[in-house]
Structure 1
Amino acid sequence: MSRDRLSRHRLTLVAALGAGLLAVGALTGCATGVSSSPEAAPSTATSSPDPGASASPAELGAAWLDAGRAIAVVTRGSSTCVPVVSGEPSASADTLTVTLEESARTDCTRDMAPRATLVGVPAGVDPTRPLEVTVQGAAEGRTTLAALTTAPSDAGQFAPSAGWVDARTIALVTYGSSGCPPTVESVTTTGTEIAVQFAAPPADQVCTMDLAPRVTLADVGEGAPAGAASVVLSGDGVDATDPIPVLGSR
């Protein structure tokens, strides 16, 4: 099966699972505990979106994820109203163009924080070549993803993945309820291994019963490994104690 068909099959399966479960209107306490996308996360905010929440070009970042089949586009703005992809990203030569649109939510916090949008990479994009990412729409700017030294291996369907955004930040993808994103409680580094502990969710947390990819950003701090690194995840029902390679460079 081609990389494009495999990627589309994965996204189609996720969408079908989410649509089927949401169709029965089921809301329940989070059983999986795996983190979810910030876009669907419950919010305690009462204010409307901050009109100045769009990222400037200098604040745009990106990271390779899912064996090079996806990237995280990192912008700054309301942490509870993450921009979403509009239409299909397009690739020409070594340039990827992504259009973002504002979240449909209206209960956005008026903070200014880094937040990540997961973007599928079209077939034909070679992660072992540098990739210029041009973002337009709700955020505008461009950034360049350095080439991966080798083509990453596929860890399997619904496997977590990780990639470097910058010198101290990693993007993490996990699968689970799109209504219950994980919250990073602590990050520790031992040698080349990064351990990310997710916080226990509130006892009264209500989660959608779908299965979707969610992107979480973790600040590794000044102790980030200088060379190749891996990450293990724990807490909030996540059990990924086998080291996950952190893709990319910083």
Structure 2
Amino acid sequence: MSALLAGAAALVLVGCSSAASIATETVRGVPSGVTLTDDEQGGEQPVAVWTDNRETLTVVTWGSSGCPPVPTELELESAMLLNLRFAPPTAEVCTADFAPTSHVFATPDGISFSAVQLAMVFEQREGDPVEVTVPIRDNE
């Protein structure tokens, strides 16, 4: 549980990056059609969901709604593992709220659809990056 809370705290600090997003779409909140479980709604860790009949991947992160994390790289490491990197935040001041932001990506070619994991790296302005790995699940 403490690792989850540390990940959530790190996500609050990530945001306000000047990097360009590689997401095909970024949505404040959770997009219509994506359902979060009661546990996921707490925002303790990011959520990864196959959407649009597995043609897209939606990743929900938590933090400042004014300065959401910016995804800069998505790569297929293996048929069972995707790597997603987020840019370090800028020095800009962000809102102190804690809200979801959803990032939508085209599903990479070569991915298996059974037991796939998403390894995320959240770069920091200072210190070590925060790494979080979550399973990618089907939308309920």
What TM-score results when the alignment is normalised by the length of structure 1? 0.37
- 1:182 and 1:216 in contact (8 A); partners too: no
Equivalent residue for 1:164? 50
Cα 1:232/1:170, change in 2 over 3 Å: same
C-alpha offsets along residues 125-159 of structure 1, whole Å, 9 cap, x if unaligned?
A: xxxxxxxx6xxxxxxxxxxx8xxxxxx79468322
The answer to whether the 8 A contact 2:31-2:102 is kept is: no
The yes-or-no answer on 1:118 pairing with 2:27 is no
CA contact (8 A) 2:60 2:103 kept: yes
Count of residue correspondences: 115
User: Does the CA contact (< 8 Å) of 1:168 and 1:224 recur in 2?
Assistant: no
Q: What is the distance in 1 between the residues matched to 2:13 and 2:72? A: 18
In the alignment, structure 1 residue 244 sits paired with structure 2 residue 134: yes
Deviation, 1:187, is 0.9
Equivalent of 1:193 in 81, 84, 101? 81
Q: Which runs of 5+ in 2 are unaligned?
A: 1-10, 19-23
Kept after mapping to 1: 8 A contact 2:70/2:86:
yes
Amino acid at match of 1:32: L
Distance (whole Å) between structure 1 residues aligned to residue 95 and residue 69 of structure 2: 14
Query: Is the alpha carbon distance of 1:153 and 1:214 closer, same or farther for their aligned partners in structure 2, counting shifts above 3 Å?
Result: closer
> What is the RMSD computed on CA atoms of the aligned residues?
3.6
> Structure 1 residues 231, 31: CA separation in 2 closer, same or farther (over 3 Å shift)?
closer
* Rg larger for: 1
Name the % identity. Answer: 24
Displacement of 1:220 after TM fit?
A: 3.9
Retained in 2: the 8 A contact 1:187–1:219?
no
Post-superposition Cα deviations, 1:166-200, rounded to whole Å, max 9, x if no partner, equal: 33421111211111122211112223111100122
Q: Write out aligned runs for 1:172-183 (5 A).
A: 172-183=59-70
Pairwise CA distance, 1:206:
3.1
Q: Distance in 1 between matches of 2:131 and 2:112?
A: 20
Partner of 2:94: 207
- Over 3 Å counting, the alpha-carbon distance change for 1:119 and 1:216 in structure 2 is closer
- Structure 1: which 5+ residue stretches go unaligned? 1-29, 43-112, 121-132, 134-144, 146-151
CA contact (8 A) 2:47 2:59 kept: yes
Q: Deviations over 1:48-81 (max 9, x none)?
A: xxxxxxxxxxxxxxxxxxxxxxxxxxxxxxxxxx
Task: Look up the SS of the partner of 1:234 in the other structure.
Answer: strand
Equivalent residues of 1:184, 1:218 under 8 A apart = no
Question: In structure 1, how many angstroms separate the alpha carbons of the residues matched to 2:118 and 2:79?
Answer: 11
